[in-house]
Amino acid sequence: MKKFGIILLLVIFAITSFAASNKIVIWCSEKQADFIKTYGEKFTRDTGILVEVQQVNFGDIKSKFLTAAQAGEGPDIIIGAHDWVGELAANGLIDSIPFSAIETDKFAKSGLDAFTVNGKLYGVPYAIEAVALLYNKDYVEEPPKTIEELKELAAEYTTDETLGLVYDAGNFYFSYGFIAGNGGYVFKWTKENGYDTTDIGLANEGAVKGAELIKSFFDEGLIPQGANYGTMDSMFKDGLAAMIINGPWAVKDYINAGIDFGVLPLTELELSDGHYGKPFVGVQGLMINARSENKALAKEFVINYLATKEGVYQFYLADPRLPARTDVAAIIEEKGGPVPKEIVDGFVKSAAGGEPMPNVPEMGAVWGPMGDALSQIINGQAEPAQALKEAVEKIKTALNK
């Protein structure tokens, strides 16, 4: 335990009798609940403080937390995505954590950067992720190297019963790799100034080229209209899809379904001369409710229990995303895990060459307009250039309110 943890424990014991509650509450998804309960029991044995684990659908955690925290209620700890940080921090709903409190040299820099806003750390990362191309080896022996090869393979295995390629193309998160890979971007970023939210690159020449590529998947009959995440997921599990685009969170289910598959990093798929896929990179982490009366307790549980090397390994076992602690690789090599090393390596490469999802509050204004634009493009309701232009106008209008 670090010196910070020892000092913090002394503080905890000193204030426990004055605390508003003798327990801390954490919101997490179903996959993580069991092992967090086990760690909570250890925390209770060590400190006398109860830990209550409440399961919440991951997609609902942010919205429910916003409502609860603004009213001074809600959990002490939430598990969520780094792109929530900007909005939650700007609203004063999550508390900063001193860099000195954690072993920064043991965490991937990209993970810490993702939870950093204006020089302050607002969460401790446990996993990093990016989507990649998954291919069923019963159909595809060698993965495609170019987008032309991808289309050829997809056409070969598109029949009345099977699909050569399917993914949630109308979801901006999954399609961003084709847009960014061709030169589009959300907000201009520089190391010196961070994100310039007045400079939006979602309707530039590269973005239009990426959208035209996405449209071609449908125009050429490679992906059927109406296909979504559920379609992709179920067909791949049933062995009826040759190739999909998905993330590391799904691979455990595919392994359990008996699918023999490989992973091609999108960053190794050539879209055009010198341009390769560039997926969003997401980071998952633990955040502290700034309005909690048990912040010291919550930070102790996060820093010295859940975000330890063994704790992050347990996150990996429960929900096999890429560990944000670099020292967890040694545990995986020694003890193994639910995902073969070659599959993990594929996702690592996809994340390494991807683009971090902006963690600024303005990102919240992007998802809706871009989802609408992709829907219009896919359904033939608008040409890519026009749909993207209108989407950017909607984003700018929302940001100027």
Kind and range of the H or E run holding 174: helix 172-181
**Considering the entire predicted model, what is its pTM?**
0.82
Q: Length of the chain in residues, anyone?
A: 401
CA–CA distance, 298 with 129 (Å, rounded to integer): 25
Specify whether the CB–CB gap between 94 and 116 falls below 8 A: no
Instruction: Please compute, for residue 167, the number of CA atoms within 13 A of its CA located in the half-sphere on the CB side.
Output: 26
In the chain, ranges of CATH 3.40.190.10 domains: 3-129+281-352, 132-280+356-399
What letter does residue 97 receive in the DSSP assignment? B
Mean pLDDT, 10 residues at a time, over the chain (401 residues)? 47 45 91 95 96 95 95 96 92 96 92 90 96 98 97 97 98 98 95 89 98 98 96 98 96 96 97 94 96 95 97 93 90 88 90 90 94 97 98 97 82
Residue 115's nearest CA partner among 69, 70, 81 is 81
CA–CA distance, 247 with 347 (Å, rounded to integer): 8
- Architecture of the CATH domain 132-280+356-399: 3-Layer(aba) Sandwich (3.40)
What are the pLDDT digits (tens) for 4-33? 454 454 444 444 444 456 899 999 999 899
CA–CA distance, 164 with 151 (Å, rounded to integer): 9
Tokens describing residue 373: 């634009």
Confidence at residue 5, expressed as pLDDT on a 0 to 100 scale: 52
Number of helical H runs and strand E runs in the chain? 16, 17
CATH number of the domain located at residue range(s) 3-129+281-352 in this protein: 3.40.190.10
Specify whether the CB–CB gap between 262 and 50 falls below 8 A: no
Confidence at residue 18, expressed as pLDDT on a 0 to 100 scale: 42
Confidence at residue 7, expressed as pLDDT on a 0 to 100 scale: 46
CA–CA distance, 205 with 184 (Å, rounded to integer): 7
Tokens describing residue 367: 């998802």
Confidence at residue 194, expressed as pLDDT on a 0 to 100 scale: 83
